[in-house]
Amino acid sequence: MNPRVSWDDLPANLRRMIEAETGAFVRADQVDTGHNCLLGMVMHTARDRYFLKGVPADHKRAVWTHSNEAAINEHVRHVSAPLAFRVAADGWDVLGFLYLDGRHADLSPGSPDLPKIATSLQALASIPAPRGLTLRTIEDRWRDYAGDRAHLLAGTTIAHTDLHRHNILVDGTAKFIDWAWPTLAASWLDTACVGLQLIQAGHTPKNAEHWCQDSPTFTLVTDEAVSTFVTAARGLWAEISAADPQPWKIEVAEAARAWAEYRGV
């Protein structure tokens, strides 16, 4: 996508529709993180703050992920940022979330954020599969990488599947944001996703795996299932980093390779 747009760049009618939801605009702070939205800002009003993310209405893939995020929010809002409104008008699709105080997570060894993340992962794993909402399954999404063992990753838990430090905000608790790809999967899958990010952040594969195993969601997971996850993650991130070799993507691919080598898969 093109560089981020400012509040003043938005059509006047769209700004009025947003202000009808939020109150009068006072100022905005641009947000540089996030890879898939053209509009990203913290909007300050006289009474509150909101995080706005928006994409052009003709960007079908981005609008689709926005729809995913809007649909899942009511089910995960106590471990995420509550969605306040969605406005689609004048060539834009905009989501407005209640602003969360906090900072991006520190995943490095010894970080005090790690217990908070583990607690929130456990809360997420306890959320029942939503009724009346069709989500993609991890078997469908990762079959090309897990092959005939994809069923070992299956489950009925809502999984984020993209938990890296910029999608985890930490204050008193850890919150998971940017729900573009909500998926039905095993209850331990998001913990394993964070484990991969721990390796990227400097943990050894052994220590990252031990951190995962401390989670109750890992109590019943089999060694074969963990190896299937690691194999799938290695293939997925090798493909992602080859298609778009940004440094952070290469680092995650290297972390997946290191974990696979540690497991001998």
Architecture of domain 7-98: 2-Layer Sandwich (3.30)
User: Is the distance from CB of 152 to CB of 246 less than 8 angstroms?
Assistant: no
Query: Average pLDDT of the chain?
Result: 94
Say what the pLDDT of residue 34 is: 55
CA–CA separation, 182 and 166 (whole Å): 17
Query: Which of 188, 135, 180, 134 is closest to 160 using CA atoms?
Result: 180
| CATH 3.30.200.20 domain locations along the chain | 7-98
CA–CA separation, 206 and 178 (whole Å): 29
Say what the pLDDT of residue 2 is: 52
| CATH 3.90.1200.10 domain locations along the chain | 103-263
Q: Which two tokens stand for residue 7?
A: 């509040």
Residues β-bridged to residue 89: 92
Say what the pLDDT of residue 83 is: 97
Report residues of the chain scoring pLDDT below 50: 1
Question: What is the DSSP code (8-state) at residue 181?
Answer: S
Residues β-bridged to residue 168: 176
Say what the pLDDT of residue 38 is: 86
Quote the distance between the C-alpha of residue 124 and its chain's center.
13
Relative to beta strand 157-159, strand 92-98 is: unpaired
CA–CA separation, 156 and 97 (whole Å): 26
User: Is the distance from CB of 193 to CB of 163 less than 8 angstroms?
Assistant: yes
Q: Which CATH class is domain 103-263?
A: alpha beta
CA–CA separation, 191 and 64 (whole Å): 26
